[in-house]
Structure 1
Amino acid sequence: MRTHTDSLPGGCGFKFYTEERMALSQQPETGEDLTDVLLCSDNTEIPCHRNVLVSSSLYFRAMFCSNFVESSQGRVNLKGISPDVLCGIVDYVYTGAITISMDIVLPLMQAASMLYYGRLFEACSTFLQEQLSPDNCLSMIRLSEILHCDSLKEKAKEMAVRSFSDVAASEDFCELSLPELMCYLEDDRLCAEEEQVFETLLAWIHHDPFSRRGAIHDLFKKVRLRYIHPTYLFQFIANDPLVQSSTLCTEIIESVRRLMLSVSAKCGRELKPLWTTPRRYTCRETLVVVGGRKNNEQTSREALLYDERTQRWQWLAKLPLRLYKASYVCIHSILYVVGGLSLSMASGDSSVSATVYTLSLKTNQWRTAEPMLEPRYAHQSVSYLHFIFVLGGIGVDKQISNSVERYNSMFNQWEAMAPLPTAVLHPAVAANDQRVYVFGGEDAMQNPVREIQVYHISRNLWSRLETRTVKNVCAPAAVIEDKIYIIGGYTRRMIAYDTKANKFVKCENLKERRMHHSATVINNKLYVTGGRFLNGHDAIEDSDCFECYDPKTDVWTSKGTLPYKLFDHGSLPLVCVSNRPNPP
C-alpha cells in the first residue's frame, strides 16, 4: 500500500484550495452548509463545492462552466465510478493525499483518466510500476495500452527486454502476437544471447505450430547470426526441422556457411543486412586479464574481470594449472588459453603442452577443448572470423619453431598451415582484412628481426617486407579500424601501421620503456595492462600499470592499477550479457 500526496494544478487553484480546507476544518458545520453540489455513486452522496471541483479538474470545469445540464443541477451522478473510488478522489481533491492499493488502483486510474486528474493518473502508474515483475510485465503492457498510459508501458517494456530470460518462460509470452514478438526480437536492448533468441522463437512457434510455423522465416531474420557460435549454428540450428522446412531459412544458413568457408569479411547483398547488424546494447565488451607471472614470484592461475562501471576487479574461476608463456585469445565470447609450459610445483618438472583450456563468462568454468597439433610455449595466438591462428614458439625440442596451425571453430579441428618464413620469438601479431601480420620479434640469437611477415589467409601464403621502422620485442599489437598499433617493446615508442596506406604513423609515447605487457581493444580504445619496464636507473621492474589510449585524441590516461604486478599475461575483450544499461 502506498500513500501519494499531491497538490492541485495551478498556483491560484492551490491557494484557493488551501484556504477552503482551512475554513472547513475550523467550521465544519458552516463548511457543509456552503457546499452546492452532491457527487453521487450508487447510494452514496458526497457534498462538494463546485468552485473546488472546477479549480481541480478540466472535466468539472467543462461540466459546471458550460451549458451542460449538470451546471444547474444540485446532484451529479458519476456513472462507472464506484463509491469507494469516488470518496478517494474527493479526499484527494480536498486534502491532496490518497492511499493507493492493488484493490483500488485500476478503477482509480480509470476514474482519474475520465475526470482529467493527470497527476493522480500518473501516481497510479507509478504505483503499478513498483509492482512490475518478469511474471506480470507483459500483462502490464496490455493494461497500459487499454488505459493509454505511456509511462507504465515504457517501464513494463523495459523490464520485459531486461529480464527476457524470465519473461520468455512466463505463460503470457506464448500468447504474444507475431508483430509483438517481432518487436521484441529486433530490440537492441534485449538482454539475451542470440542462441536464446533462436530457442525462444522456436518455443513460441511450438506453442501453436499449425498457425505459427509459417512465421519461421520472418522470425529467423531477427536472429543476429554473426554472434552465434558456428557449432551451434551449423549443427543445431541448421538441423532443426522447422528451419529445414523453410527454403528461405536454409538459404540464409548456406550463405553464412559459404561466407565463412571463403574466409571473406564481405558478404552478398541479400545477406548483408542480417550479417552487419550490430550486437545488442546489452552485449558489452569487458576486459579480462588471465595468467602471466604474478609479483615476479610464480606463474599465476588467476583470471580477473574489470568492471568499467565500478572500476573494480572481480576474480573469475582459476586456471586448472599453472602455465608458463601460454598464449591467450578470444573468439565467440569464449576465452582460450593455448599451450604453454606446464609446471609441477611438487616435483619441479615441466612439460610443453598442447592442451587448450576455455572459459565462458556465462558458466565461469574452465573446460578443455581440442588440443593443438604440436605442443608449444612462448608462441603467439590471434583470432580472425571463426579461426584461431597459432604461430611459432618453442617446441618440445627446445628450438624456435616456424610452424603455424589454425583452429577452425566451424569443424572443431586444428590444421597445419604454411610455416613462417622466419622463425621469431616475441613478435607483435595482429589480424586484419584477411591477413595476419607478424611484426619484428627476435631470432634464436636474440637479435631483433626488422621485418613484417604477412600471412594471406585465403591463399595460405606468406610474404615478407623488410623495414627499419620495426624494432619491437615482447610488444603486443592491437587493431583499431584499419590501423595496427604496436605498443612498446623495450622502448617507449608506439607506432600504428596503416594497412590501407602501407605506412607507419607515430603515436604518443608510453611513459616508460615497456615490455612483456599486454594490450587489447574495447570500444575503439586501447587498454594496456602490466608488463615490465626499465626505470631511470635502467633496472627492470614489474608493473601493475593499467592505462588507456584514445586514438581520436592521441592521449594516454591512467585507469588505476591491477590488483598485483603482472607480466607475460593475456588481456582480452570478452562479451557478456548485462541487464544493466550501458553508460553514456
Structure 2
Amino acid sequence: MLLIAKQSEGQLPQMHQKTETRMDQSKPHPEVIHYSNEEQSSRLLLQLNRLRQERILTDVLLCSDNTEIPCHRNVLASSSPYFTAMFCHDFRESHQEKVDLKGITSSILSDIVDYVYTGVITITMEIVLPLMQAVSMLQYTGLFEACSSFLQEQLSPDNCLSMIRLSEILHCGSLKEKAREMAVQSFSDVSTSDDLCELSLPELMSYLEDDRLCAEEEQVFETLLAWIHHDPFSRRGAISDLFKKVRLRYIHPTYLFQFIASDPLIQSSTLCTEVIESVRRLMFSITTKCGSDLKPLWVTPRRYTCRETLVLVGGRKNNEQTSREALLFDERTQRWQWLAKLPLRLYKASYVCIHSILYVLGGLTMNTKHRVVSTTVYMLSLKTNQWRTAEPMIQPRFAHQSVSYLHFIFVLGGLGPEKQVCDTVERYNSMFNQWEAMVPMPTAVLHPAVAANDQRIYLFGGEDAMQNPVRMIQVYHIGRNMWSMMETRTVKNVSAPAAVIDDKIYIIGGYTRRMIAYDTKANRFLKCENMKARRMHHAATVFNNKLYVTGGRFINGHDVIEDSDSFECYDPKTDTWTTKGTLPYKLFDHGSLSLVCVSNKPNPPECVVGCHSLSAM
C-alpha cells in the first residue's frame, strides 16, 4: 500500500501539468457553480419519515380515537396553513405535547400523516368522502383536488345530481362544475332519474333554461311534467314558469297541439293555453312573424347542443344505378357517415326536410321488372336512423320538385305515370299528416329552380314538354293559394337547385357556370361569382349560413358530360367559392338537406346521435 501511494504521489506533478495545459486551451472556468440535487428533497422526506417512525426528534402527538401518531411540528407546519397557524402562533396547541383532532378517524389521520411525510396516498371510494372532509379542514388543497378528480372519474348520469349535492356540502367547485356538465350533456338519461324529481324549482329552472342542455324540447316538456307530478300539491303552481323554458318553435306541431295542448296541467294554466293558442294562430296564418306576446318565447335560439348536419340521399351513384344510400357529413370532423339505406331505389324522387325529419317523396321505383311511378312518402329521423312511411301523395309523380315552408310540404309538377308533364300542386300538412290539392301552376315546367321565402314559393325557369327553356318566374302565394308570373330574360336555368340566404334566392348553374341571386325584397337579380365548371343535376343546401353544392354533372373542356363527386362551398359574405374535398362517390339527381341534431359529444359516433323529431309518431 505504501508503494502504491508513493507511485501515485510521483505521478501527481505530471497530472497537474497536463491539467494546466488543458485549462490553458479551454475557456475561463466559472467562478460560481449552481449545484442542484433533485433527489435531495425526496431523500429528506424519507429520512424524516424514518425519524418519525422511530420517534426520533418528534415533538407532538396527533390524537384521534385513542390513537397517538408522533410527528414533527416543523414538518406539519410546513405542509399545511392549518398547522402553520396552530404551531407558529400563540395558540395553546403550540405548547401542548398532544393535539386532539376531533371529527377525523384514526385511520384517515394516519393516511394523511403518511401522505405528508411521503407524498403518497391511496384514494378509494370507501375513504374518499371522510378524506375530503378531513383534508378540507386541515387545508391540504392539493390532496382535496386529487379527491375531487377521483370522484369526477366516477361520474355517471345516474349519480351526477347527487354528486352536485355532495360538492355543495364539501364546497368543491371543480367537482360541481364537472357534475353539472355531465348532467347537462346526459340530460336525456338524467331526466329519468329519481334525483331529478328532488331538485328545487330554481335548480330545475336553471337546467331547462341552459343553452347547453342536450335534450329535445319534447323531452324538456316531459321532464317538467314528471317533476310536477312527483309532488303535484305543492308544485302544480309552477307550470307556467316552467313552460316558458320550453322552446316551442323547435317542437313538432303534432306533438305540440295533440299532446302538450291536451295535457291537464297545461289546460289548468291560463298563461300556458294562451301561449299555445298564439302558436296555433301563427302556424295557421302562414306567416313567420309573431306578435309581441309570443316573441320572447318564439325567438329563443336553439340550444348549443343542436348542430346542423348535411345529409345527402338517393340520386344516381357512379353513373351505374339509382342509389339507396344516405350520407351524413359532419363539418367538425370533416367525415362522411352512412345512414340507413332507403327501402327502395327511387329514380328522380324529391327530397325535403321539415322539423328536422328527412322526407323522400314519389319517384320511379327501380326494384321491379315493371317500373311504377310512386306516391309513397318515406321519412327518416336521425334520432332513430330508421325509415318509415307517411301518408302517400295524392298523385303519383317523378322528376318533380318539393319545398317546405313552416309545417307544410309543397310538391310541384313533375312527370306522371304516362310521362306527361304535370302542372298540379299538392300540399302536405305535417300537423295532421294530410295531403290536399292546391291551385295548379300557370305553366307546367320540368326541372325549375324552386325556393320558398316570405310566404311565397318561387319557380325559376325550367323547360317545357318540348325541352325548351322557359324564361319565366312563377310565384305562388301560400296564404292566398294563387299564382303570378313574371317573364324575364335573366332566367335561363334547367336542372339547377336554388337556396335561400337572407331573403336572397341563389340559383346555382343549370347547364351554365353562372350563379345569380334574386333579391325578393328589391325584386332584382344580383350577379355572383361563377362556378368553376358548367353544372347541372347537382344539389345545394344552406348549411351554417353558407351554400354547399354537391355532385351533379358537368361539361368538361371537350364539351363532354361527366359525373361529378365535387363538394364545394360558397360564402355569400365574401362572394367566394372554396372546395370541401370530394364526395365518397360520384352522384347526381340526389337530395341535399340540412338537418338539426342534438349531440352531447364533440366527435359523433358512426351511428348518428339524437335528432329533434317526433319519434312517437
TM-score (norm 1): 0.93
> How far apart, in 1, do the equivalents of 2:130 and 2:78 lie?
23
**8 Å CA contact retained: 2:46, 2:118:** no
Match of 1:395, as an amino acid? G
TM-aligned CA deviation for residue 498 of structure 1? 2.2
TM-aligned CA deviation for residue 397 of structure 1? 3.8
Residue 463 of structure 1 corresponds to 484
**8 Å CA contact retained: 1:533, 1:541:** yes
**8 Å CA contact retained: 2:333, 2:603:** no
For residue 121 of structure 2, give the secondary structure of its aligned residue in structure 1.
strand
Residue 536 of structure 1 corresponds to 557
Residue 197 of structure 1 corresponds to 220
Instruction: Give deviations 1:299-336, integer Å, cap 9, x for gaps.
Output: 11111122334332222222121111110000011111
Structure showing greater Rg: 2
> How far apart, in 2, do the equivalents of 1:542 and 1:30 lie?
82
TM-aligned CA deviation for residue 284 of structure 1? 1.6
> How far apart, in 1, do the equivalents of 2:422 and 2:574 lie?
40
Instruction: Give deviations 1:163-210, integer Å, cap 9, x for gaps.
Output: 112212222121111111111111111111111111121122222222
Aligned pair in 2 of structure 1 residues 234, 30: CA closer, same or farther (>3 Å)?
closer
Match of 2:308, as an amino acid? E
> How far apart, in 2, do the equivalents of 1:100 and 1:483 lie?
62
Match of 1:284, as an amino acid? R
Match of 1:549, as an amino acid? Y
Aligned equivalent of 1:555, options 567, 571, 576? 576
Aligned pair in 2 of structure 1 residues 245, 582: CA closer, same or farther (>3 Å)?
farther
How do residues 248-327 of structure 1 correspond to structure 2 at under 5 angstroms? 248-327=271-350
Residue 88 of structure 2 corresponds to 65
- Is it true that 1:21 corresponds to 2:45 in the alignment? yes
Residue 363 of structure 1 corresponds to 384
TM-aligned CA deviation for residue 550 of structure 1? 2.3
> How far apart, in 2, do the equivalents of 1:66 and 1:471 lie?
91
Aligned equivalent of 2:364, options 316, 341, 345? 341
**8 Å CA contact retained: 2:52, 2:58:** no
TM-aligned CA deviation for residue 380 of structure 1? 0.7
- Is it true that 1:79 corresponds to 2:110 in the alignment? no
TM-aligned CA deviation for residue 107 of structure 1? 1.1
Instruction: Give deviations 1:15-38, integer Å, cap 9, x for gaps.
Output: 99646315436x648973222222
* More strand per residue: 1
**8 Å CA contact retained: 2:48, 2:117:** no
Match of 1:531, as an amino acid? G
Aligned equivalent of 1:111, options 116, 125, 134? 134
> How far apart, in 1, do the equivalents of 2:95 and 2:525 lie?
88
For residue 398 of structure 2, give the secondary structure of its aligned residue in structure 1.
coil
For residue 176 of structure 2, give the secondary structure of its aligned residue in structure 1.
helix
Aligned equivalent of 1:229, options 240, 243, 252? 252
How do residues 430-445 of structure 1 correspond to structure 2 at under 5 angstroms? 430-445=451-466
**8 Å CA contact retained: 1:113, 1:121:** yes
**8 Å CA contact retained: 2:52, 2:70:** no
- Is it true that 1:421 corresponds to 2:445 in the alignment? no
Residue 246 of structure 1 corresponds to 269
How do residues 116-265 of structure 1 correspond to structure 2 at under 5 angstroms? 116-265=139-288
Aligned equivalent of 1:89, options 103, 112, 128? 112
For residue 601 of structure 2, give the secondary structure of its aligned residue in structure 1.
coil
Match of 2:484, as an amino acid? S
**8 Å CA contact retained: 2:52, 2:72:** no
**8 Å CA contact retained: 1:488, 1:513:** yes
Aligned equivalent of 1:388, options 395, 399, 409? 409
Match of 1:211, as an amino acid? S
Residue 395 of structure 2 corresponds to 374
> How far apart, in 1, do the equivalents of 2:103 and 2:591 lie?
68
- Is it true that 1:567 corresponds to 2:588 in the alignment? yes
For residue 217 of structure 1, give the secondary structure of its aligned residue in structure 2.
helix
> How far apart, in 1, do the equivalents of 2:360 and 2:47 lie?
80
Alpha-carbon RMSD across the aligned residues, in angstroms, is: 2.0
- Structure 1 residues 185-194 or 300-309, which shifts more? 300-309
Aligned sequence identity (%): 81
Aligned equivalent of 1:350, options 340, 347, 371? 371
Aligned equivalent of 1:448, options 448, 454, 469? 469
**8 Å CA contact retained: 1:56, 1:93:** yes
Aligned pair in 2 of structure 1 residues 537, 291: CA closer, same or farther (>3 Å)?
same
How do residues 486-525 of structure 1 correspond to structure 2 at under 5 angstroms? 486-525=507-546
Residue 8 of structure 1 corresponds to none
Task: List alignment gaps of at least 5 residues for structure 2.
Answer: 1-35, 605-617
Aligned equivalent of 1:577, options 588, 595, 598? 598
TM-aligned CA deviation for residue 264 of structure 1? 0.9
> How far apart, in 2, do the equivalents of 1:329 and 1:169 lie?
34
For residue 573 of structure 1, give the secondary structure of its aligned residue in structure 2.
strand
**8 Å CA contact retained: 1:23, 1:31:** no
Instruction: Give deviations 1:115-142, integer Å, cap 9, x for gaps.
Output: 2111111111000000111111110000
Task: List alignment gaps of at least 5 residues for structure 1.
Answer: 1-11
> How far apart, in 2, do the equivalents of 1:332 and 1:569 lie?
20
TM-score (norm 2): 0.88
TM-aligned CA deviation for residue 582 of structure 1? 8.3
Match of 1:103, as an amino acid? E
TM-aligned CA deviation for residue 410 of structure 1? 2.0
> How far apart, in 2, do the equivalents of 1:409 and 1:233 lie?
12
Aligned pair in 2 of structure 1 residues 46, 17: CA closer, same or farther (>3 Å)?
farther
Residue 31 of structure 2 corresponds to none
Residue 427 of structure 2 corresponds to 406
Instruction: Give deviations 1:398-432, integer Å, cap 9, x for gaps.
Output: 22222211111122211222222222111111111
Match of 2:518, as an amino acid? Y
Q: Which runs of 4+ in 1 moved over 6 A?
A: none
- Structure 1 residues 226-235 or 47-56, which shifts more? 47-56
> How far apart, in 1, do the equivalents of 2:293 and 2:96 lie?
70
Residue 3 of structure 1 corresponds to none
Aligned pair in 2 of structure 1 residues 36, 567: CA closer, same or farther (>3 Å)?
same
- Structure 1 residues 191-200 or 307-316, which shifts more? 307-316
Match of 1:248, as an amino acid? L
TM-aligned CA deviation for residue 554 of structure 1? 2.7
> How far apart, in 2, do the equivalents of 1:398 and 1:19 lie?
92
**8 Å CA contact retained: 1:17, 1:52:** no
Match of 1:493, as an amino acid? R
**8 Å CA contact retained: 1:17, 1:94:** no
Match of 2:177, as an amino acid? E
Aligned pair in 2 of structure 1 residues 171, 459: CA closer, same or farther (>3 Å)?
same
- Structure 1 residues 500-509 or 389-398, which shifts more? 500-509
Instruction: Give deviations 1:130-156, integer Å, cap 9, x for gaps.
Output: 011111111000001111111111111
**8 Å CA contact retained: 2:375, 2:396:** yes
- Structure 1 residues 145-154 or 466-475, which shifts more? 466-475
For residue 353 of structure 1, give the secondary structure of its aligned residue in structure 2.
coil
Instruction: Give deviations 1:186-239, integer Å, cap 9, x for gaps.
Output: 111111111111112112222222222222211111111111111111111111
> How far apart, in 2, do the equivalents of 1:30 and 1:101 lie?
25
For residue 411 of structure 1, give the secondary structure of its aligned residue in structure 2.
coil
- Structure 1 residues 463-472 or 288-297, which shifts more? 463-472
For residue 20 of structure 1, give the secondary structure of its aligned residue in structure 2.
helix
**8 Å CA contact retained: 2:60, 2:98:** yes
TM-aligned CA deviation for residue 466 of structure 1? 2.5
For residue 204 of structure 2, give the secondary structure of its aligned residue in structure 1.
helix
